[in-house]
Amino acid sequence: MMEKPRITLPPFYVEVEGARALILEVSRTEPVPGDVWYHVSTQIEYKGMRSKTFTLDVRSEEDLLTKLKMEVTKLKFMEYAYGTEFLRRVMT
């Protein structure tokens, strides 16, 4: 059975591990025929702080969610290890 195409136009938010990821832009690239990658420009909002815009290279929506979880985990670890003020300086 054929799957219905789903279109989501950025910007949009994704909830990840207690934070919000703002997906600003998604561009598709195929560096090798048949090998599709997506460049995702995003920001993470965590405890009232918003990160600078950064990009992630992903192969799928599942890959994007996995990489966003890793980024949020890094932020939480920095906050735990060095405190909220350190995290604020790093994020902004």
In percent, the amount of the chain with pLDDT more than 70 equals: 91
Residue 1, pLDDT > 70, answer no
CA end-to-end span of the chain:
47
Taking a C-beta distance cutoff of 8 angstroms, is the pair 75, 83 a contact?
no
Both structure tokens of 16: 């990840």
Q: What are the extents of the domains in the chain? A: 12-91
Residue 9, pLDDT > 80, answer no
User: What class is the 12-91 domain?
Assistant: mainly beta
Residue 85: strand pairing partners: none
